[in-house]
């Protein structure tokens, strides 16, 4: 991968050398045809049950479900919601959705009812697939939203909602006569939205990022690079949630490459390590908290992890110390970092064998342009000058659903403005140094402080509040609140923590604690001065 500097200090990663996927009639057809071509090859393994699934099984299941969805009234460009932890049902439902030309909107399984309601009102799904742990919550919210016509329970359900169907009953129902093959409708690839993934804005509740079929197909083509080993011969482990953009997009790309994907629905120490040992896993998708676990946890020594060749780490920065500890402890030859956003369809920067300096997030992927601009003047900066990172290319989202204003703020003249501060060096390796955006990164999840602040202010005893990320080695950052109490009220740290705990999903809980202060520091326009709060953490004795 060789980047070049174009006039105006624009860095280019070079053209995508192949156009296999982009020229296909649709994303759904591409995935179906790929599964068909892999035959009896094992493509998925549930590491909890040990069940192995062949490409033939996936092909037949997707083709049948696609036809059932059509019989349930799902048409091209309708939306299908998907609220489930990692499971074969998740993959079949998503790919069947793509097959009929529908848009798939994954939902975070930890969402509270309030968050589910917000998310489905953005995407307005006609059908929602839900797992055992989410189906009752989804059914409850769906009752208030008439656009949801059916809920399909991927596993058991205690719901008495009249429109809840069992996935297995549908798949085994003789009433649905289906053909062994399926042809997807021809897509308008640059316009038809394949995925709506929820991305946390800094200003409140999540926004719906619209990724088109072309965004995904071009990204698949950009992955077909000469790598250390052919992806079709790799056994890969993932525990990254598939409802998260990083997890979802890696599921799609590995599915089209015939990779043997070993998955876990959630991280459990022994299961994670035993899966690597049992299936001789060669490659794993990681986030920094998992890397810290591999580097430091005593239990790791009890397992044979010698098959691991490559660890691909994303979602938050990884320290050099952790990387060195893993290499020394387990002997993993290749640890690679990357950088991407939901808005850019997977990574735009990735480390390679030749470009992997300590602290860097690598070089531009093929098909991507980058520039670094002065956040105040917009001036294009050169090598080793720090500014806001902006990217352009075939993976840049169509926009935020129903939010023209945010779309126009994020994308200007085709350039995605990331809100991250960084620079590239003389060999075009990129480094991230700071964030303009105020998102808290908790275990790879993006937590918007403004949303927690708004929630805190609904408590009558709280006069004002501000939330920042408190640095934490294992989790990255922990949400922490600074709270100004109303006069003459009784309010403890525990009260505040419980208040948020009962109303927000786990990533948004105040694990960093609560500090009571006399006032929240703000600039003349009323914007919270989070830097002052961060400085207070370093010098806790100072009073505001």
Calculate ∠ Cα 513-447-375, nearest 5°: 115
388 and 495 in a single domain? The answer is no
Whether residue 71 is contained in a domain is answered as yes
Closest by CA to 212, choosing from 89, 344, 84, 96, is 344
Of 401, 419, 437, the residue at which a domain comes to its end is 437
Give the residue among 213, 205, 216, 27 at the shortest CA–CA distance from 108.
205
Task: Answer whether residue 304 is part of any domain.
Answer: no
Residue 294 pLDDT exceeds 90: yes
**Same domain for 501 and 381:** no
Domain count for the chain, please give it.
Answer: 3
Please, what is the average pLDDT of the chain?
91
Residues 176 and 132 in one domain: yes
| 523 pLDDT higher than 70 | no
Q: Which of 396, 418, 437 is the last residue of a domain?
A: 437
Query: Could you report the per-residue pLDDT of 434-455, keeping only the tens digit for each?
Result: 666 677 889 888 788 878 988 8
Question: At 504, which CATH number?
Answer: 3.30.300.30
Q: Distance (Å, rounded) from C-alpha 207 to C-alpha 516?
A: 31
User: Are 84 and 208 contained in the same domain?
Assistant: yes
Q: Which domain CATH number covers 109?
A: 3.40.50.980
In a domain, 374, yes or no: yes
Residue 142 lies in a domain: yes
Closest residue by Cα to residue 322 from 292, 351, 347, 343: 292
Q: Are residues 101 and 163 in the same domain?
A: yes
- Specify if 28 maps to a domain: no
Write the CATH number for 367. 2.30.38.10
Give the integer Cα–Cα distance in Å for 468 and 191. Answer: 38
> For the purposes of burial, counting CB atoms within 10 Å of the CB of 492, is it exposed (0-12), middle (13-18) or buried (19 or more)?
exposed
In a domain, residue 314? The reply is no
Q: CB–CB of 106/129 below 8 Å?
A: no
Give burial (CB, 10 Å; 0-12/13-18/19+) of 202.
Answer: middle
Question: Looking at residues 114-131, what average pLDDT do you find?
Answer: 95
Pair (65, 183) in one structural domain: yes
444 and 433 part of one domain: no
- Residue 13 half-sphere exposure toward CB, CA atoms < 13 A: 29
Are both 184 and 60 inside the same structural domain? yes
Please give the Cα distance from 376 to 468 (Å, whole number): 24
In a domain? residue 392? yes
Closest to 420 measured CA to CA, from 407, 406, 437, 408: 437
Quick check: is 333 in a domain?
Answer: no
Q: What is the DSSP letter of 338?
A: E
Claim to verify: residue 418 and residue 476 sit in the same structural domain: no
- Compute the distance between CA of residue 127 and CA of residue 188 in angstroms, rounded to an integer: 22
Per-residue pLDDT tens over the stretch 441-491:
898 887 888 789 888 988 989 988 999 999 998 888 999 999 999 999 999
pLDDT at 544 (0 to 100): 41
Percent with pLDDT over 90 in the chain: 70
Domain check: are 76 and 177 in the same one? Answer: yes
C-alpha distances in Å from residue 532, one per residue of 222, 482, 535: 42, 12, 5
Q: What is the pLDDT of residues 363-406, one digit of tens each?
A: 999 999 999 999 878 999 999 999 999 999 999 999 999 999 99
**Percent helix, strand and coil across the chain, each rounded to 5?**
30, 25, 45
Q: Identify whether residues 103 and 180 lie together within a single domain.
A: yes
Domain-terminating residue out of 213, 241, 263: 213
With 0.75 as the threshold, say if the pTM is over it. Answer: yes
Q: Say yes or no to pLDDT of 262 above 50.
A: yes
Q: What are the backbone dihedrals phi and psi of residue 144, each rounded to the nearest 5 degrees, phi first?
A: -90, -5
State the residue range of the domain holding 456.
440-538
Residue in the block written with tokens 């097959």:
99
Q: How far apart are the first and last CA of the chain?
A: 50
Q: Is the pLDDT of residue 287 over 70?
A: yes
Query: What span, in angstroms and rounded, lies between the C-alpha atoms of 439 and 520?
Result: 18
- Please check whether residue 9 is in contact with residue 382, taking contact to mean a CB–CB distance below 8 angstroms: yes
Same-domain pairing of 109 and 180: yes
């Amino acid at each position: 991968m060789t980047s070049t500097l174009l006039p105006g200090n624009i860095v280019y990663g070079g053209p995508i050398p192949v156009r296999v996927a982009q020229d296909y009639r649709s994303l759904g057809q591409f995935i179906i045809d790929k599964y068909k071509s892999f035959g009896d090859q094992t493509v998925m393994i549930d590491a909890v049950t040990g069940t192995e699934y062949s490409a033939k099984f996936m092909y037949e299941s997707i083709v049948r479900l696609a036809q059932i969805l059509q019989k349930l009234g799902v048409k091209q460009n309708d939306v299908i919601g998907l609220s489930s932890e990692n499971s074969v049902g998740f993959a079949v439902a998503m790919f069947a959705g793509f097959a009929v030309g529908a848009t798939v909107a994954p939902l975070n399984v930890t969402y509270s009812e309030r968050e589910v309601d917000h998310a489905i009102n953005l995407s307005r799904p006609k059908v929602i697939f839900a797992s055992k742990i989410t189906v009752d919550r989804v059914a409850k919210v769906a009752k208030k939203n008439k656009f949801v016509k059916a809920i399909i329970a991927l596993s058991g359900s205690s719901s008495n909602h009249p429109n809840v169907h069992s996935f297995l009953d549908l798949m085994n129902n003789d009433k649905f006569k289906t053909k062994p093959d399926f042809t997807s409708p021809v897509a308008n690839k640059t316009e038809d939205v394949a995925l709506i993934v929820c991305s946390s804005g800094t200003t409140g509740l999540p926004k719906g990022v619209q990724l088109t079929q072309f965004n995904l197909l071009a990204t698949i083509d950009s992955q077909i690079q000469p790598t250390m080993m052919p992806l079709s011969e790799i056994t890969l482990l993932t525990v990254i949630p598939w409802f998260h953009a990083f997890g979802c997009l890696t599921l799609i790309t590995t599915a089209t490459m015939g990779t043997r994907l070993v998955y876990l629905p959630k991280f459990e120490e022994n299961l994670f390590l035993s899966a690597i040992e049992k299936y001789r896993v060669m490659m794993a998708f990681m986030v920094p908290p998992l890397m810290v676990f591999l580097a430091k946890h005593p239990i790791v020594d009890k397992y044979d992890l010698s098959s691991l060749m490559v660890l691909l780490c994303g979602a938050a920065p990884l320290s050099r110390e952790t990387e060195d500890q893993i290499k020394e402890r387990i002997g993993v030859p290749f640890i690679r970092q990357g950088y991407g956003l939901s808005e850019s369809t997977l990574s735009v920067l990735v480390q390679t064998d030749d470009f992997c300096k300590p602290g860097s997030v690598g070089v531009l992927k093929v098909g991507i342009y980058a520039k670094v601009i002065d956040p105040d003047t917009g001036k294009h900066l050169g090598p080793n000058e720090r500014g806001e990172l902006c990217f352009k290319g075939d993976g840049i989202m169509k926009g935020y659903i129903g939010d023209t204003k945010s779309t126009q703020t994020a994308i200007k003249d085709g350039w995605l403005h990331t809100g991250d501060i960084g620079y590239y060096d003389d060999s075009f390796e990129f480094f991230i140094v700071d964030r303009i955006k105020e998102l808290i990164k908790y275990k790879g999840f993006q937590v918007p402080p403004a949303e927690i602040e708004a929630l805190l202010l609904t408590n009558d005893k709280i006069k004002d509040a501000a939330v920042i990320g408190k640095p934490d080695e294992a989790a990255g950052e922990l949400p922490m609140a600074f709270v100004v109490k109303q006069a003459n009220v009784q309010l403890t740290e525990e009260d505040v923590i419980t208040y948020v705990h009962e109303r927000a999903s786990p990533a948004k809980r105040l694990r960093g604690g609560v500090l009571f202060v006399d006032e929240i520091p703000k600039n003349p326009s009323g914007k919270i001065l989070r830097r002052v709060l961060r400085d207070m953490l370093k010098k806790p004795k100072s009073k505001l």
